[in-house]
Amino acid sequence: MPMHPDDAAARHADELNIRGRLELYGFAVDARRWDLFDQIFSRQDLSVRHGDNFAHTDYQEFVDAFDRIHVGFDITRHSMSNFIIDVDGDIARSLTYGQWRLVKLGLSGGDCWSSEGWYEDHWIRESVGWRITRRQSWELWGEGNSAIAGVDQTQFRARRRALATSEHAAALFLR
């Protein structure tokens, strides 16, 4: 049965709202505006995990950890793109490509580490709007001085993933 035009407009508005929050994430990290995470992440039932690292499940601990990690960089640049968003009522899933550059000026071995990957997010509509309740991010590729990111090349190669093998990507748009 075709979607009612009002339903399509509401779904599109939800997708734009979620996309805006994903774009805000890149800005919040680069500006170190952790207060903006309140507009992106849920404080309830949160799980944020990068690669095979442990999951942050406490909102404040997650924010504090991000601050500790990012204060060591002179410059960061996070760019979000290719927003794939699947809204189903008051829940949604998204897959977003991410590119990031981390800079520590004057570091032996080079100033920059550049990497790309993607974010797999589960969203919930809360009384204050859409919030990420589950995030898994994966690195696909990287170049430069990996010591900036706190890993050696062997560790980095071990945690690479391919989008083609992502269960999250395979499940998008299945109903």
* Average pLDDT over the chain, rounded to an integer: 88
Mean pLDDT of 152-163: 58
Mean pLDDT of 14-33: 97
Where helices occur in 32-158 by DSSP H, the ranges are 59-70, 153-158
Q: Decide which of 137 and 156 is more confident.
A: 137
| 54-93 confidence digits (pLDDT tens) | 899 999 999 999 999 899 899 999 999 999 999 999 999 9
Rg, Å, the chain Cα set: 17
pLDDT for residue 84: 95
pLDDT over threshold 90, residue 34 = yes
Residue 72 vs residues 45, 76, 156, 157, 165: alpha-carbon distances, Å: 29, 10, 19, 23, 33
Which CATH code is given to the segment(s) 5-171? 3.10.450.50
Q: How confident is the model at residue 150 (pLDDT cuts 50, 70, 90)?
A: confident
How many Cα atoms occupy the beta-carbon half-sphere of 135 within 13 Å? 20
Q: Residue 170: which H helix or E strand, with range?
A: helix 167-171
Give the residue extent of every domain in the chain.
5-171
pTM greater than 0.85 (yes/no): yes
| 138-147 confidence digits (pLDDT tens) | 888 888 998 8
